[in-house]
Amino acid sequence: MIHTGLALLGRVWWLVPIAALAAGWWWTDRELADVRLTLANERTVRVQDLADAERAKLKTERDAAERIASATGTYADRLANRQPLILESTNTVREYAQTDAGRVRCRDADRVRSIDLLDARFAAPAAAADSGDRAMPADAAAPAGGR
């Protein structure tokens, strides 16, 4: 029987490498299918992670834009409250002066005239100094207070 098996092996010896190659091909195909499935799953997870990251980035950018818009609005309101109220029309000034806020901010005519007189007094010596009416002191080395 052993002799018969060796005789049969002697005739079909070339089937052994073919069977080994077929088994190797089958095993490689199974492994490749498993690797492809693993890669497909990883790609799906990666795409989902990228989509989640993109959504998080867009949310962060949107929140930042909303914070900037809110801060800009708050800053503009604060700035508007700081700016002086400029009234250009005489009727508008009269109407504003009759309100409670206007009585506090608007000056009466006598105070405005006294401010104008004060400004005129301060401007007068400067105009006189520029006119050249004063004489130069004889001593050029005299202290600056005498000039």
* Same domain as 65, residue 28: yes
Phi first, then psi: give them for residue 136, nearest 5 degrees: -75, 145
Secondary-structure percent of the chain, ordered helix, strand, coil, rounded to 5: 80, 0, 20
Query: Is 141 among the domain residues?
Result: no
Element (H, E) at 132: none
Residue 36 DSSP SS3: helix
pLDDT digits over 90-123, tens only?
Answer: 777 777 778 877 766 666 666 666 777 777 888 7
Identity of residue 66:
E
pLDDT at residue 87 in the model: 58
pLDDT at residue 146 in the model: 46
Full domain range(s) for residue 76: 17-83
Of the residues 44, 63, 83, the one at which a domain ends: 83
Judge contact between 101 and 88, C-beta under 8 A.
no
Global pTM exceeds 0.75: no
* Same domain as 45, residue 77: yes
